């Protein structure tokens, strides 16, 4: 099985790009089953990170174009951002392969693990956007809130130890607010590998969206399933007001 991870950003520094590619590909392939390969491709002429609604809209056309262009080379694709930018459009633009984001699979998994889930988000802005994702998925009654770490997306890899300590404190606050499952609401946070340690510290499930997205693709491909293209159109209409 061959999967594509669409990295929805353009890294300005070539050296950083090479190092980050190698690091993320190693983690993605470790999350996959034996016999599954995962490739990573970055977008061109896009922001260096998705940290706002504007950024999410900016990367969407390139995500859709890449999915359409490369669909015949892969069995499934992952859009590597917790905002799920362009996912519905990529589904509609492709013919038959699964295209998944990271938020919806992670939230669906949380439903199997507890009664109420919370999302650990990088910033207050991303935390407020998380509610829109939850609402569009019809899961508000199982949602305990999004809690900002006040750390920029590109800062997580630079200091994973600080990210873990902050996530531990914020995670405890989320638990006090009624959460019994936590979601890592940023792929850059998930790629630091803090989730397993955080789960041990807090004693509740911590959902890593990288692992869930990879295994969701494998499950769909193995089951011979892909989202209906009419689903993409109806889902996209929820965002039009």
pTM for the structure as a whole: 0.92
Q: Which of 185, 171, 28, 41 is nearest to 104 (CA)?
A: 185
Q: Which CATH number fits domain 103-209: 3.40.50.720, 3.20.20.140, 3.30.70.150, 3.40.50.12500?
A: 3.40.50.12500
Q: Give residue-wise pLDDT tens across range 70-81.
A: 999 999 999 999
What is the residue whose two structure tokens read 């293209």?
Answer: 229
What is the spatial distance between Cα 75 and Cα 223, in angstroms, rounded to a whole number? 12
Q: Give residue-wise pLDDT tens across range 99-144.
A: 999 999 999 999 999 999 999 999 998 998 999 999 999 999 999 9
Burial 41-61 (b: 16+ CB within 10 A, else e): ebbeebbebbbeeebbebbbe
| CATH number listed for the domain at residues 2-101+212-237 | 3.40.50.12500
Q: Give residue-wise pLDDT tens across range 222-235.
A: 999 998 877 555 56
> Is 11 in contact with 17 (CB distance < 8 Å)?
yes
> What confidence score (pLDDT) does residue 233 get?
57
What is the spatial distance between Cα 57 and Cα 120, in angstroms, rounded to a whole number? 22
pLDDT beyond 50 at 240: no
């Amino acid at each position: 099985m061959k999967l594509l991870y669409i990295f929805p950003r353009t890294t300005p520094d070539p050296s950083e790009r090479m190092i980050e590619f190698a690091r993320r590909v190693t983690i993605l392939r470790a999350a996959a089953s034996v016999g599954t390969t995962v490739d990573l491709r970055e977008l061109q002429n896009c922001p260096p990170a998705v940290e706002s609604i504007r950024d999410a809209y900016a990367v969407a056309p390139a995500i859709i174009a890449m999915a359409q262009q490369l669909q015949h080379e892969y069995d499934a694709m992952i859009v590597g951002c917790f905002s799920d930018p362009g996912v519905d459009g990529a589904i509609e633009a492709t013919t038959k392969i699964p295209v998944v984001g990271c938020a919806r699979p992670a939230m669906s998994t949380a439903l199997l693990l507890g009664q109420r889930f919370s999302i650990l988000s990088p910033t207050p802005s991303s935390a407020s956007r998380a509610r829109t994702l939850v609402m569009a998925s019809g899961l508000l009654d199982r949602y305990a809130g999004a809690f900002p770490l006040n750390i920029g997306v590109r800062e997580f890899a630079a200091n994973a130890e600080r990210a873990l300590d902050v996530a531990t404190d914020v995670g405890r606050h989320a638990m006090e607010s009624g959460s019994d499952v936590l979601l890592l609401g940023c792929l850059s946070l998930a790629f630091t590998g803090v989730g397993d340690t955080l789960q041990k510290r807090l004693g509740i499930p911590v959902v890593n969206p990288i692992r869930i997205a990879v295994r969701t693709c494998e499950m769909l491909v193995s089951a011979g399933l892909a989202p209906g293209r009419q689903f993409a159109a109806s889902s996209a209409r929820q965002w039009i007001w």
